[in-house]
Amino acid sequence: MTATVIDGKAFAANVREQIGAHVAKIKGENGITPGLAVILVGEDPASEVYVRNKGKQTIEVGMNSYEHKLPADVSEDELYALIDKLNNDKNVHGILCQFPVPDHLSEQAIVARIDPAKDVDGLHVINAGLLASGQRSLVSCTPLGCLMLLRDHLGSLSGKNAVVIGRSNLVGKPVAQLLLGDSCTVTIAHSRTANLEEVVRQADIVVAAVGRPKMVSGDWLKPGATVIDVGINRIEKPEGGTRLVGDVDYESCAAVAGAITPVPGGVGPMTIACLLANTVTACCRANGLAEPVGLTA
């Protein structure tokens, strides 16, 4: 068996096209432009590139982009004052602070300071609690991207056995909640799960988000399983330099799976697309407008 490659890059481009159409409709019918504010503290090169890409894609879909760059030694009070200002700005519908931040700042406290209705990263405990209790929330971007890819490839997920490898608040737990919401039977596994290989082998859907390079091999899989690889790991190449790999061994898994996401080019491109989708959703909710179809959980 040769697995179907789930092209996250192409799917994300389609999502952005849908977002652009919905933004144009909101502007034309209501005179409102969705706005996303991104806060960058310090000068981490990778974060700067990521924020730049977010801003570029925000503008490309017709939304307003507000970038706030703060020095690495910014005080908590100064950062919180900015967040409070953005919370009260009616032109800003989504707020995120790019992580990591310098050690003197608390990521948890920063997320808690953001208005849950503008928490387009879906990390606030209120949004996590709403998701866990099956209520309407803003959902973490990467888990939402995983769900969109699965729905697109498989259609109905009802009744399927899903194993999520990883229990982080950022990916593992929200992915499991989303799959439960689509009526999957869900097991959350992790590095300490007894007989992990046997657990994974029962799954129709495998979501790998454990942060260990090439941990899942093809002989762990049920033939025909759908594999969503969330891992992004940089490893050394024999000839020098580095390359990106996921949490699954792509070659061996692609020989057994029915479908698989590559790394890079799978889940990764969906993260910013879902951030934009969450911003449009937050704008619609703030203004009592119809939400975009197919872009929420």
Which residues are identified as catalytic? Answer: 54, 98, 121
Question: Minimal CA–CA distance to 22: which of 297, 294, 235?
Answer: 294
Question: Minimal CA–CA distance to 275: which of 61, 83, 109?
Answer: 61
Structure tokens at 288: 């009592």
Q: What distance in Å separates the CA atoms of residue 117 and residue 137, rounded to the nearest whole number?
A: 8
Bridge partners of 64, per DSSP, are: 35
